[in-house]
Structure 1
Amino acid sequence: MGPGAARSVNTVRTLRGPSGRESSRALRAVHELFVSGEVDVSTLDSTTVRPVVAKSWQRSLAKGVDPDLDGARPSSAALSIARLRDAHPLAPALPVIRRLLVDDAVDSGVVVAVTAADGTLLWVEGDPKARRRAEAMNFVPGADWSERSAGTNAPGTALALDRELQIHGSEHFSRIVQPWSCTATPVHDPDTGALLGAIDLTGGPQAAAAQTLALVRATALAVENHLALLRLTGTTVQPATRKPHLVVLGADRPRWVTTDEYGHLRAAMLTGRHADILVLLSRHPEGLSADHLAVLLDDRDLDVVTVRAEMSRLRKVIGAELLESRPYRLLMPITSDIGEVFDALDIGDVESALAAYHGPLLPQSVSPSIARLRTQLSASVRGAVLAECHRGNLAPLRRWLDSPEGRDDRDGWQVLHTSAAVGPVGRAQAGGHLAGLDFELG
């Protein structure tokens, strides 16, 4: 150990209380020294940093987790979180979790989260004020809170170790999470023992108290028993057959996603015209005549014969049993990424809307109706993001401005630049971006 490292360790020892137990101040000091490479936590005794936390910090650093991240990143499941919830094995036990944890959390300053086995947050419920605060670190459905993505945290590390765990304040690897404490317990399949996910309670210091661990542990056991009872009595709620899913947002080619008899996802690539038609039919469940569809697709050059030919080709792609004619309409409900965005906006869930909004609707389409819907969707998402700013929540705005569509949103950058909640560095960055936009626009 070099002289600099020795001085760092001596600093840590000085900060510890006479009892040898860690204080929050000492722990923050150790964290700062560790992430800057000035101290090896494996050389410190267990009264400075708990071994389980020290090893998690080392794994987080090895995975390249940035301690200055604004919070967790959206997982690959973020675009289909509603479908993931419906199909997840823990969904039938959600009433048990709500009764034992959520009902008492609505006014107690804590949030209750349920994760999938890969660390994706499925449900985040509890105290409304605490939920809004947690949004600032992207503690929202669809975010990836695995240890490899977000660093040391109770649900992510509990899943990594497959054991119940409490993380106190400054034990978190990411600085933005350090004001919080949390308790998490894994949940297993009662028959196979496979890891299904985790139940987490996050809040202030009380969220990592001894009695909290007992409560979360009891809830996990109740969930496993509930799942076992449902199977024993033959009343297990089986996930409904997944509906066909239409993917039409962003620059990727539009797709029609279905599930085969073995539960495997199958994606059929769509032509631009077929994607246009499916979007319009999904927005008009009452059906559209060939004449009306022709006008919506192209108000000048498209004739009814061409529409009928396209519908014949479309039947071969998605299945004749799904399309009715006279009028043309879908014969069964489908889901779509555009529908997920609109549904989230309808209930005021801006975070989920942003997670599902993967970019403009069919950007290559020249259909006037698609262009109108594209503008409506983009303006609705942007307006909801700015409305959140007026409530003091800047997290959605930051994510919007990081998106390809938001990078040139001058008004959005101006809001960020003038916000009192933004620090000097963030304000300088926003000002620099504004200067670049103004230069480009002359």
Structure 2
Amino acid sequence: MTTAYRAPEPALTTGEDPREFAQVLHKVYDAAMTGARLPARPRSVIEQSWARALDAGVDPDIGGPADPIAAADLAARRGASGLTELLDDLAHGLDVVLRDSPNILVVADAEGHVLWRAGTSAVRRRADGLGFVEGASWAENAVGTNAIGTALTSGRAVQVFSAEHFVRTHHAWTCTGAPIRDPRTGRTLGVVDVSGPASSIHPATVALVDSVARLAEARLQGAHRDQLDMLRSVAAPILARTGRPALAVDEFGWVAAVDRVEPRRRIALPPDVSPARIVVAGLGLCDVEPLPGGWLVRPAGETVHAGTVVTIGDVVTVTSGDGAWTHSPSPRHRDLLTLLARHRTGMTAAELSTALFNDPTRTVTVRAEMSRLRKVFGGLLATGPYRFADEVSVAA
């Protein structure tokens, strides 16, 4: 899934006086909020955003909820965002507009919650006064027009200046945000934003922020290629032994290797694929079996394959169909797998937390570790509660 790229649009053009433009914007804003005749029209991206904010019931004098999400939820969102590995690149790419400046760097998730901030203590204190804090929602339906929420909604890099913001208390600021998309899925992961006093606006900032976001996407694309290369190296000997047409694909359906199947870039997998016999578009009925970091997909024939067997020891061995692979887990991951092997009906996060730490409240840690395990073992592990899939035989 891809989204057509739209070039970013600065809030004002090079050479335009920000103070004069801000005065015009205030008149336009006041007229729009009171229903009076507009002395000029706002930019279309701003006009459309104002309309959405009004429809959402955002109060231009108060804004949205002031309370940020809890610390545990913030930590979980950070871990699940897919953005952690990009933080250094984003900060380095935008250092030129952050160093010795009143600007703050913000990274938000796909729902508009602020996950990380970076900037001087002075600018962070000013941001605190606006509720621009870690854990706060800056989605349009919470605080109206702003670079984070409007970039998420419009799907493009956005610069919002002064009274283009929907909430009056934000008019002293300018902000520039660009969405970051996962090249594997096309899904938006979040937004990188640079904000500061309205006087710090520069027309080139939106192009810079947008280019840094695109470079971050390129890094994700490179990491994905490396993952496919690793999957290909694991799958090659298995494909050679199967004696049947087969493909090795990652969890998103991107093809790493094929044998006696027409080459293709990607296949459509069900959202919750598991070891089973499923229908794959263009291939028909297929047997799906787990590989480290992906799946072995084989068009169904007359051969009946034995069930998958997981043997847990210092090394975990997975045997399925005509092939086998191994994984060296961390001690904690081995403990988790052993617990699930002993409790085939499954365990909740709280139960696993109690068994591992003698503390039922460390569920965030358990969920994060189980998420990492499921990236390796795929559909061998099920959720709700956590358990080995019914089709899997386990020896511990």
TM-score tier, shorter chain, comes to 0.5 to 0.7
Unpaired runs of at least 5, structure 1: 1-18, 237-261, 264-314, 338-442
CA contact (8 A) 1:73 1:149 kept: no
CA contact (8 A) 1:92 1:227 kept: no
The structure that is helix-richer by fraction is 1
1:207 positional shift: 5.0
Quick one: which of 173, 177, 182 aligns to 2:175? 182
Quick one: which of 290, 313, 319 aligns to 2:351? 319
Hey, what's the Cα distance between the residues in 2 that align with 1:52 and 1:177? 17
Indicate the residue corresponding to 2:358 in structure 1: 330
Aligned partner of residue 192 in structure 1, secondary structure: coil
CA contact (8 A) 2:81 2:190 kept: no
Hey, what's the Cα distance between the residues in 2 that align with 1:104 and 1:50? 25
1:323 positional shift: 3.6
Hey, what's the Cα distance between the residues in 1 that align with 2:143 and 2:196? 17
| C-alpha RMSD over aligned residues | 3.4
Amino acid at match of 1:141: E
Equivalent residue runs for 1:9-408 within 5 Å: 23-39=21-37, 45-46=40-41, 49-69=42-62, 73-74=66-67, 80-102=73-95, 105-205=98-198, 207-234=200-227, 318-319=350-351, 322-323=354-355, 330=358, 334=362
Aligned partner of residue 187 in structure 1, secondary structure: strand
Aligned partner of residue 31 in structure 2, secondary structure: helix
CA deviation map 1:114-157 (0-9, x unaligned): 11111111111112211110101110111110111101111111
CA deviation map 1:201-257 (0-9, x unaligned): 001246541221122112101110111112211299xxxxxxxxxxxxxxxxxxxxx
1:51 positional shift: 2.2
CA contact (8 A) 1:65 1:148 kept: yes
Aligned partner of residue 100 in structure 2, secondary structure: coil
1:79 positional shift: 5.2
CA contact (8 A) 1:78 1:141 kept: no
Hey, what's the Cα distance between the residues in 1 that align with 2:364 and 2:350? 14
CA contact (8 A) 2:58 2:143 kept: yes
After superposition, the Cα gap between the structure-2 partners of 1:317 and 1:112, relative to the gap in structure 1 and judged at 3 Å, is: closer
Hey, what's the Cα distance between the residues in 2 that align with 1:113 and 1:316? 34
After superposition, the Cα gap between the structure-2 partners of 1:194 and 1:220, relative to the gap in structure 1 and judged at 3 Å, is: same
TM-score in terms of structure 1 length: 0.47
CA contact (8 A) 1:201 1:207 kept: no
CA deviation map 1:317-340 (0-9, x unaligned): 94378448xxxx628992679xxx
1:103 positional shift: 7.7
Amino acid at match of 1:25: Q
Aligned partner of residue 191 in structure 1, secondary structure: coil
CA contact (8 A) 2:182 2:217 kept: yes
After superposition, the Cα gap between the structure-2 partners of 1:22 and 1:147, relative to the gap in structure 1 and judged at 3 Å, is: farther
After superposition, the Cα gap between the structure-2 partners of 1:218 and 1:36, relative to the gap in structure 1 and judged at 3 Å, is: same
1:177 positional shift: 0.5
Hey, what's the Cα distance between the residues in 2 that align with 1:37 and 1:173? 15
Hey, what's the Cα distance between the residues in 2 that align with 1:334 and 1:103? 40
Hey, what's the Cα distance between the residues in 2 that align with 1:126 and 1:234? 34
After superposition, the Cα gap between the structure-2 partners of 1:77 and 1:57, relative to the gap in structure 1 and judged at 3 Å, is: farther
Hey, what's the Cα distance between the residues in 2 that align with 1:181 and 1:83? 29
After superposition, the Cα gap between the structure-2 partners of 1:322 and 1:150, relative to the gap in structure 1 and judged at 3 Å, is: same
Hey, what's the Cα distance between the residues in 2 that align with 1:170 and 1:26? 9
Identity of aligned residues (%): 33
After superposition, the Cα gap between the structure-2 partners of 1:317 and 1:73, relative to the gap in structure 1 and judged at 3 Å, is: closer
The structure that is strand-richer by fraction is 2
Hey, what's the Cα distance between the residues in 2 that align with 1:73 and 1:321? 32
Aligned partner of residue 112 in structure 2, secondary structure: coil
Hey, what's the Cα distance between the residues in 2 that align with 1:66 and 1:26? 22
Aligned partner of residue 61 in structure 1, secondary structure: helix
Hey, what's the Cα distance between the residues in 2 that align with 1:316 and 1:154? 39
CA contact (8 A) 2:350 2:360 kept: no
Aligned partner of residue 233 in structure 1, secondary structure: helix
Hey, what's the Cα distance between the residues in 2 that align with 1:206 and 1:160? 26
Hey, what's the Cα distance between the residues in 1 that align with 2:351 and 2:203? 56
Hey, what's the Cα distance between the residues in 2 that align with 1:63 and 1:157? 13
After superposition, the Cα gap between the structure-2 partners of 1:82 and 1:165, relative to the gap in structure 1 and judged at 3 Å, is: same
Hey, what's the Cα distance between the residues in 2 that align with 1:335 and 1:68? 39
TM-score in terms of structure 2 length: 0.52
Aligned partner of residue 60 in structure 2, secondary structure: coil
Aligned partner of residue 152 in structure 2, secondary structure: helix
Indicate the residue corresponding to 1:356 in structure 2: none
Hey, what's the Cα distance between the residues in 1 that align with 2:222 and 2:188? 18
CA deviation map 1:16-44 (0-9, x unaligned): xxx9x9632232122122222334x5xx6
